Amino acid sequence: MDHAVTAAQFSWNDARRWLDGLPGGAGLNIAYEAVDRHLLHGRGDKVAIRWIGKSGERQEFTYTDLAQATNQFANALHDLGVMPGERVFVLMGRLPELYVAVLGALKARCVVTPLFSAFGPEPIVTRAEMGDARVLVTTPELYQRKIRDVRERLPGLKHVIVVGAAPSDEPGVHPWGVLVSPASTRYTIGHTDPESMALLHFTSGTTGRPKGAVHVHEAVLAHVVTGRYALDLHDDDVFWCTADPGWVTGTSYGIIAPLVCGVTNVVVEAEFDPQTWYGVLERERITVWYTAPTAIRMMMKLGAEALQGVDLSALRFMASVGEPLNPEAVVWGLKAFGRPFHDNWWQTETGGIMVSNYAAMDIKPGSMGKPLPGITAAVVRRLADGHVEPIEAPDVDGELALKTPWPSMMRGYLHEDERYRKCFADGWYLTGDLAHRDADGYYWFVGRADDVIKSAGHLIGPFEVESALMEHPAVAEAGVIGIPDPMAGEVVKAFVALKPGFEAGETLRRELLGHARKRLGAAVAPKQIEFRDNLPKTRSGKIMRRLLKARELGLPEGDLSTLESDEKKGAP
Ligand code: ATP
Ligand code: MG
């Protein structure tokens, strides 16, 4: 609990005044701020969640509906004897019950851990064991396919709540329709210490074994501030966050921030498909849209023509997170949507957006923006004695660091104190990402410290090379790694996926090598280019450079629990 907010940080105290706190001074609870508080401010009849199912069916939940449904879920946990602090895991797609379960469990002061519904049994077991899962909320299909056979390996998992009405004769399996639906719609949230654990989030596993980041109820302060500043949320907004609730963006911004800000949160069950998405933007009159580079690159692949005739007149603000947003993607957004994508940067560990291109500032394509109010960032150099030193000069690469504390800062890596401690030095949280700051105070992402390439005395960030390749009309995606070289130490190798209509072959390879050399200079440009149908990605849409590298060098592939599209499958 080293990183509690101190009163000295006046901007966070401003944010405190935007929230209510539990009645009678009973603390601060994320779900209360997200749901019940709005009933006292005349917003009970406003639509909190508009759910759009896979086949286009719609359901709307007002803030009052959501307050009652989450009360029922909190009562159901109570009826099962589940205690505050115990862990409630959710494993399902974007169904309305997921939102009710997450917020209801927070009301009951349980700890919520979302899991990707696409996880197989092994990643589920590992996380459930590590996180000490007491309750699992899932669908009957997922239970059948992924949980039933591994349940005996999880003796701590006492209750499984399955969405649906059909009674079950399996011990500890409770149909929602039997347990939750009949529960009382009245519930009083118990005293919630702002420092008590609220969410346990596993990281994306891009660089290795996922870590369990611990977040507390006080994080809601950051959710409201970043919702307003970084995502520009105003009272009448209709907001859509495309992230899966199995990772942190899908909860911090797919559930909590929009509701805390009192807007209408649109939830789309369907997976990514440009045509469906454009239909949602138009029909639902989305005003603020939060998505990710991997989706933007797929839309680019399809071309701006697909947007012709789509009415985007309601759309005001578009933001992106999760990976570096190539400058080409910002430029394309402007052309295709008539508005730019606003890049922002954060991590599972930071609990909320830390650096962003907010509405009021000019965007520099390729920059992730500036630190948000209440956040102090720096580019630091690690010294040999374990200390760090901020680099004052502009345009010098170093590690991106954030001054502790802030409300949504992780309070630990579960069961990994040493790994947690190593993230801090001299009052700074060290992010593991490399960046530089320009003379105007904008931050520029260089690469993950693990991915940076050292070639003939140069430090090369993969992002710069990938962005240069993306400027070529044939390139849909690029992933860049360093491979050992007897002369240079390492040389740059690029894996490239092409847009439809382009032929992989020697001519194009030469053309791309030439293009990169012209753009980047011979020292930084790739020496080798290999064409792939797809690049390996995490389920949160990040290119797994470590896997490209492991496969290239014939090294062990490491933890692949979060791997989504396996390039081997797509390769010819
Ligand atoms: P793991 O920590 O398990 O390796 P991960 O770091 O990918 O996985 P997340 O917390 O989901 O897990 O992702 C945070 C990371 O994503 C950041 O540290 C950064 O490397 C990258 N990232 C997120 N947003 C941006 C952005 N706007 N620009 C550049 N990189 C970004
Ligand atoms: Mg990380």
Mean pLDDT of the chain: 94
Distance 448 CA to ligand 1 centre (A): 8
Nearest-atom index, ligand 1, CA of 432: 18
pLDDT one-digit tens code per residue, 488-511: 899 999 999 999 999 999 999 999
- Index of the ligand 1 atom closest to the CA of residue 431: 18
Which residues, 6+ apart, have CB-to-CB distance to 521 below 8 Å? none
The best mutation among 130, 252, 433 to test binding of ligand 1, ranked by most ligand atoms within 8 Å of the C-beta, falls on 433
Q: Residue of the nearest CA to atom 13 in ligand 1?
A: 347
Around ligand 1, the residues with Cβ closer than 6 Å are 203-208, 210, 247, 321-325, 343-345, 347-348, 368, 431, 433, 445, 448, 540, 542
How far, in Å, is the centroid of ligand 2 from the Cα of 417?
16
Distance in Å, CA 347 to ligand 2 centroid:
6
ipTM over 0.95: yes
CA 536 / ligand 1 centre spacing (Å): 15
Cβ contacts of 305 within 8 Å, gap of 6 or more: none
Amino acid 10: pLDDT: 52
Tell me the per-residue pLDDT of 368-393, one tens digit each, with 9 for 90 and over: 999 998 999 999 999 999 999 999 99
CA atoms of 362 and 360, how far apart (whole Å): 7
Cα 348 to averaged position of ligand 2 atoms, centre (Å): 7
Atom of ligand 1 nearest to the CA of 249: 11
Burial class (CB in 10 A: 0-12, 13-18, 19+), 440: exposed
540 pLDDT band, cuts 50/70/90, is confident
Does the CA dihedral 481-487-488-494 come out positive or negative? Answer: negative
Q: What is the pLDDT of residue 572?
A: 25
Secondary structure letter of residue 8 according to DSSP: T
Q: Which of 206, 356, 443, 549 to mutate to test the pocket of ligand 1 (most atoms within 8 A of CB)?
A: 206
User: Which pLDDT does position 541 carry in this prediction?
Assistant: 86
**According to the model, what pLDDT value does residue 570 have?**
32
Which is the closest atom of ligand 1 to the Cα of 463?
Answer: 29
Q: Identify the nearest ligand to the CA of 433 by its number.
A: 1
Which of 215, 248, 345 has the most ligand 1 atoms within 8 A of CB, as the residue to mutate?
Answer: 345
pLDDT bracket for residue 435 (50, 70, 90): very high
Q: Whose CA is nearest to atom 23 of ligand 1?
A: 322
Q: Whose CA is nearest to atom 18 of ligand 1?
A: 347
Q: Specify the pLDDT at position 207.
A: 83
Residue 546 has pLDDT above 90, yes or no: yes
Can you name the CATH fold of 3-437? Rossmann fold (3.40.50)
Closest among 569, 559, 564, 560 to 540, alpha carbons compared: 564
pLDDT digits 0-9 by tens, 142-181: 999 999 999 999 999 999 999 998 888 999 999 999 999 9
Using a pLDDT cut of 90, give the percent of the chain over it: 87
Q: Where are the domains of the chain?
A: 3-437, 451-569
pLDDT confidence tier of residue 208, bands split at 50, 70 and 90: confident
Domain 451-569 has CATH 3.30.70.270: no
Model confidence pTM above 0.90: yes
What per-residue confidence (pLDDT) applies to 7? 34
Residue 483 scores a pLDDT above 90: yes
Strand partners, 355: 345, 371
Is the model more confident about 222 or about 539?
222
Q: Tell me if the bond preceding 405 is cis, omega within 30° of 0.
A: yes
Atom of ligand 1 nearest to the CA of 210: 3
**Could you tell me the CA-to-CA distances from 365 to 106, 167, 230, 369, 399 in Å, in that order?**
38, 55, 16, 9, 21
pLDDT attached to residue 554: 95
Q: CB burial class (10 A; 0-12, 13-18, 19+) of residue 374?
A: buried
